[in-house]
A and B are shown apart, each in its own frame.
Chain A
Amino acid sequence: MSVATDVTTVTPVLSHRPWWQGKIVQVAVVVGVMVLVYRAFGLEYSWPRSLEWNGLSAHLDSFQSWLLDQRSAEDRSVVFAVFDGFATFVDDLVTWLTDAILWLTWLGAAATGTLVVLRFGGLRAAAIVLAAFVSFAALGVWEASMATLALMLAAVGLSLLVGVPLGILAGRSDRFQQAISPVLDAMQIVPAFAYLMPVVILFSVGPAAAVVSTMIYAVPPAVRITSLGIRGVSVNTVEAAASMGSTRRQLLGKVQLPLARRMLLLGVNQTILFALSMVVIAGLIGGGGLGAVVTSGLYSNPALAILAGFAIVIMAMALDRATEAIANRTDPSQRHLDDTGRQRVRLQTLASATAGVAIVAAAKIAGVSGIYPDETGGGTSVTAQQWLLAQIQKALDYVQDPTSFAFGVTEPTGNFLLTKALLPLQEFLVGTPWFVTVGGLTLIAFLISGLRPAVTTLLMLVSIGVAGVWPLAMDTLSQVLVATVLAVAVGVTLGVLAAESQAVSNVLRPVNDVLQTLPQLVYIIPFIYLMPVSIVPGVIAGVLYAFPVVTRLVERGVRDVAPEAVEAAGAFGATRRQILTKVKVPLAGDAIMLGVNQGIVMVLAVVVIGGLVGSGGLGYEVAQGLVRGQFGQGVIASLAILALGIALDRVTQGSRQARKKGIG
């Protein structure tokens, strides 16, 4: 219906001053004042002890003891029964899945996985999956890989069980969509490191805790993409089906779901990738599998940790390609099957199933073991693990050898970052009188995002102070800021280049895809050895994790600049550079701001994980809490990370219109 179209049509105009340009100046003034105050009163006003809640940590510790008592008590309350019941259920599910995979035998498991993908995803995807299975065997991490696979299946299955119905509701009801959006936002903004402690408290260490942590991260994409898919079904089609008297159920089952099918499967794809990126962190809280190999090997056996990291990367890529191929190939609205086609597909299904059963049966009869063996009965090694570990160790030795060329590059780079950026910024943030820092950041939030975000920021900063972790939080903040600046610089540059040059875009896309597929912790591992300077690995990993998103948003923003505006500028004789700097980049300002917003939140998530490898700050406290069982301290740091995340998100959120544009 065309009634509303004339209401909202606004022709794009070149405003003489984009909204953020003036604000940059204002923000610079605020920062300048803060620096002056720091120079004048440096270190004189740290967060006052009188404003700290001293007993908080102890209170939390006693709360935990109380919880543990309640749990083990004879007459535990319903709440604990529910949590324990769920934990038991998930533990059993993971165990059952692991047993099922082992029962298939290693040969049968590989064959089953490959055949399923072959049937639904085609030859290419099946080849990738087969290669992945071969790699797990060759790397000698079969058991850990299968444990991770089982954990993933459970976590992804449960995430979809929760996420898809919610997504369908959100797709069909605007009200529900509006209600659930902020919850999903919150679930994605909170760094994983912040909710590990609470989850462990509720579910205790084990597969259940790992699955729940994963679900917190993986449910939002499932909901969002399902909703997007339902909403993406043409309104004409839905209206036509309604006009024929479809019930709501018929509309869903016969029209909306089949037509949204490809999106739903891509939602599965995203859910898997999000879940997989939590797998390593889940290793910290009893997830087992490859994640445990990585986390426990970080110090004791770095080569093995890197090897397991490779296995995770391989698993991520195989699952990604397989589910994407399945989504694309089985889409009924693109794949036009006639009767002979259907017959052929039926035969393929039958053949695949028969082959799968036959291989499993043969393997069972031949007595093939559940786990791919490290060596044959005669003691000959049949994996490449030892050789690979030796190679990795060699590489590690090389980059850590002060006389090597690589060391000559990485060492100064790391030191430069540390002495010229990280340490001065940290001193500035910690040293500046606390009320000036709080006031300054709140003011910046007000200038960029408005009143409500500023109030939220103020509240969050004050609670960090009251919780008694002000210096730690400022330490983490300094790392986040440095990493964000780097990520935005890299991201904007590459994004503009990619928007201007198709060749650059083509090269960048797969790189970005891979970088975004990798689990967060995997980034950090190589840099522990490449730049063995305390804080730097976390920062670099944060940059690597965040810049692809910035690149993508900037590229889209610049490309989406109205062609009319570009054409008009060209007609006035503007050079390509003038068009870029005077038209495209200013008009893409909102997209860039959105990139900063997304980037800063992603950087925070990685930087706190750096706490595991000595980055200090809040992340270290959480790591200590998890590893050493220092509960109260860990929870406080978790909450502070959450508060810092919310504050950073609000500060960089931009104006309401900018947000809306970014979403639309």
Chain B
Amino acid sequence: MTAPDAANGARRGEPLIHADGIWKVFGPHADRIVGTPDADLPRSELRAKTGCVAAVRNVSFDVWPGEVFVVMGLSGSGKSTLVRTLIRLIEPTAGTIQIDGRDVTGANQAALREMRRRTVSMVFQHFGLLAHRRVIENVAFGLEIQGVAKTERLAKAREMLRLVGLEDVENSFPDQLSGGMQQRVGVARAFVANPAVMLYDEPFSALDPLIRRDMQDEVMRLQRETGKTMVFITHDLPEALRLGDRIAIMRDGRIVQLGTGEELVGSPADDYVENFVRDVPRSHVLTLRWIMRAPAEGEHADGPRLPVGTTVKDAVPVLAASEQPVVAVDGDDQMLGLVDRVSVLKAIAGEGG
């Protein structure tokens, strides 16, 4: 079956981030690699031949307003390099990037600074807090470099600290806080300039698993409340599935598959992705949208009605209690398809839809 385009409904207008053919090659004369046959060599051969390492290879994607776009891959896959090229913390070797309709790759330093100050903020794996400043001054830093007056920026920062639940420690120094609290400061600092786009580079990898879960909830809450567009880098598949509207899986600098969580789990593009998603409980990820079928000729659709985004796991008890197939409906209660017991069992057994 064809993969249903889940996020289509959310898409309005232009993409907020448009990345086209991004390359990043580290090494001598890196700019001479892209566009030659060398660029397609496997990594070790490229390094042996030219001394260069291709961290990101011909990556293109769009991120739509309000979307959470996750880039997932193992260490060395180029995901952290990729996110840095978006605001040119690392200069891309080739390719074009537009954010909010403005050209990033061609921007001069002043325009680039302006974009980093107001449009895009980033949260880092190792926090990157200023050890010599108090928490509140750390949060206010982004406004300080914009030249916002002191009382105003401190008031704004205080507001952000309240948002992440840290109003009590505003006068502490970063090294007096736990890792989780430090990263909350990092998140508050990124939010303070009210950017349209938030970039998260493995923000919770350095945290304990329990705290990581709290922080994921926190980020999802903030995302709901503020409706920001997010690009989220992680090496953790459960985290990717939890947060991501769409997920790009990277390997050796390339995107090997880009799709919703259920597309990855339901129809992995290759063995590599399949290996990744093998252990994911399918019933937790796949939704009715993935397994529903069109009603047969003359079939009545008078069974229980469930939203099309319901997971298989949640549909099972309803289906078990009903003789009729479940009717999958959209937000306006219009029927989109039917789900019967056979399709649910097939989905759980891993045979796709």
Chain B residues contacting A246 (CB-CB under 8 Å) are 113, 145
Q: Contacting A243 at CB < 8 Å: which of B76, B116, B126?
A: B116
- Residues of the A chain whose Cβ atoms lie less than 8 Å from the Cβ of B125: 236
Cβ-defined partner of B128 (8 Å) among A5, A234, A336: A234
Contact of A3 among B26, B87, B116, B117 (CB under 8 A): B26
Residues on A with beta carbons closer than 8 Å to the beta carbon of B90: 1
**In the assembled complex, B81 has its CB within 8 A of some CB on chain A:** yes
- Count chain A CB atoms within 10 A of each CB in B127, B131, B199 and give the residue with the most: B131
**CB of B61 within 8 A of chain A?**
no
Whether the pair A4, B176 counts as a contact (CB closer than 8 A) is no
Residue among B55, B116, B130, B132 with most chain A CB within 10 A: B132
Give the distance to chain B from A241, nearest Cβ to Cβ, in Å: 7
- Complex partner residue of A245 from B47, B81, B145, CB under 8 angstroms: B145
CB contact under 8 A between A336 and B173, given known A236-B128, A247-B113:
yes
Chain B residues in 8 Å Cβ range of A4:
26, 53
The contact string, 1 if C-beta is below 8 Å from chain A, for chain B 51-81, is 0010100000000000000000001101011
Known contacts A244-B141, A245-B113, A254-B144; decide if A236 and B132 are in contact (CB<8 Å): no
* Residues on A with beta carbons closer than 8 Å to the beta carbon of B76: 2-3, 5-6
A387 to B12, CA, bound (A): 95
Within 8 A of A (CB), among B77-122: 78, 80-81, 84, 87, 89-90, 112-118, 120-122
Judge whether A237 and B130 touch: CB under 8 Å.
yes
Q: Give Cα A336–Cα B131 distance, bound, in whole angstroms.
A: 10
Please report the C-alpha to C-alpha distance between residue A240 and residue B118 in the assembled complex, in whole angstroms: 14
Inter-chain CA distance A336–B130, complex, in Å, is: 13
Q: Is A1 a contact of B128 with CB atoms below 8 Å?
A: no
In the complex, which residues of chain B have a beta carbon less than 8 angstroms from the beta carbon of A1?
Answer: 55, 80-81, 84, 90
Contact of B121 among A3, A243, A258 (CB under 8 A): A243
**A333 and B133 alpha carbons, distance in the complex (Å):** 7
Q: Are A333 and B128 in contact (CB under 8 A)?
A: no
**Measured CA separation A239–B130 after assembly (Å):** 11
Indicate whether B142 reaches chain A with its CB closer than 8 angstroms. yes
CB neighbours of A244 from chain B (8 A): 116-117, 121-122, 141-142, 145, 189, 193
* A259 contacts B131, C-beta separation under 8 Å: yes
B146 sits at the interface (CB 8 A): yes
Contact-residue size bin, chain B (C-beta under 8 Å from the other chain)? 35 or more
Q: Are A7 and B47 in contact (CB under 8 A)?
A: yes
For residue A329, give the distance in angstroms from its CB to the closest CB of chain B: 14
Q: Measured between C-beta atoms, what is the minimum distance from A396 to chain B in Å?
A: 53
Check A242 against B89 for contact (C-beta < 8 Å): yes
Contact call B87/A243, Cβ cutoff below 8 A: yes
A243–chain B nearest beta-carbon distance, Å: 4
> Is B124 within 8 A of A339, CB to CB?
no
Q: Which residues of B have CB within 8 Å of A5?
A: 76
CB of A250 within 8 A of CB of B75, answer: no
Chain B residues positioned under 8 Å from A408 (CB to CB): none
- Which residues of chain A have C-beta atoms less than 8 A from B116's C-beta? 242-245
Task: Check B78–A240 contact: CB distance below 8 A.
Answer: no
Which residues of chain A have C-beta atoms less than 8 A from B142's C-beta?
244-245
A254 CA to B90 CA, complexed, in Å = 22
Q: Does B129 belong to the interface (CB within 8 Å)?
A: yes
Given A239-B124, A245-B114, A245-B116; A254-B145 close (CB under 8 Å): yes
Residues from chain B with Cβ under 8 Å of A243 in the complex: 87, 89, 116, 120-122, 124, 199
Q: Any chain A CB within 8 A of the CB of B226? A: no
Cβ-closest chain B residue relative to A251: B145
Chain B residues with CB under 8 Å of A241's CB are: 128, 130, 141, 145
Residues of A within 8 A of B129 (CB): 237, 240
Contact of B131 among A239, A250, A333 (CB under 8 A): A333
Q: Is the beta-carbon distance between A332 and B132 smaller than 8 angstroms?
A: yes
Annotate B124-160 by CB proximity to A: 1 below 8 A, 0 otherwise. 1111111110000000011011100000000000000
* B144 x A240 contact (CB < 8 A): no
Interface 1/0s, chain A 328-344, versus B by CB < 8 A?
00001100101100000
A43 at the interface (CB under 8 A from B): no
B334 within 8 A of A: no
Chain B's closest residue to A257 (CB) is B132
Interface check B322, CB cutoff 8 A: no
Q: Does A515 contact B (CB under 8 A)?
A: no
Are B132 and A259 neighbours in the complex by a CB distance under 8 Å?
A: yes
B47/A336 in contact, CB under 8 A: no
Is the CB of B50 closer than 8 A to any CB of chain A?
Answer: no
A→B interface (CB under 8 Å):
1-7, 234, 236-247, 250, 254-255, 258-259, 261, 332-333, 336, 338-339
15 contacts between A and B (CB under 8 A): A3-B78, A236-B125, A236-B128, A237-B130, A237-B131, A243-B89, A245-B112, A245-B115, A245-B142, A246-B145, A254-B144, A258-B130, A259-B131, A336-B173, A338-B171
With contacts A240-B124, A254-B141 known, what are 10 further pairs, Cβ within 8 A?
A2-B75, A4-B26, A5-B76, A237-B129, A243-B124, A244-B116, A244-B145, A245-B113, A245-B114, A254-B144
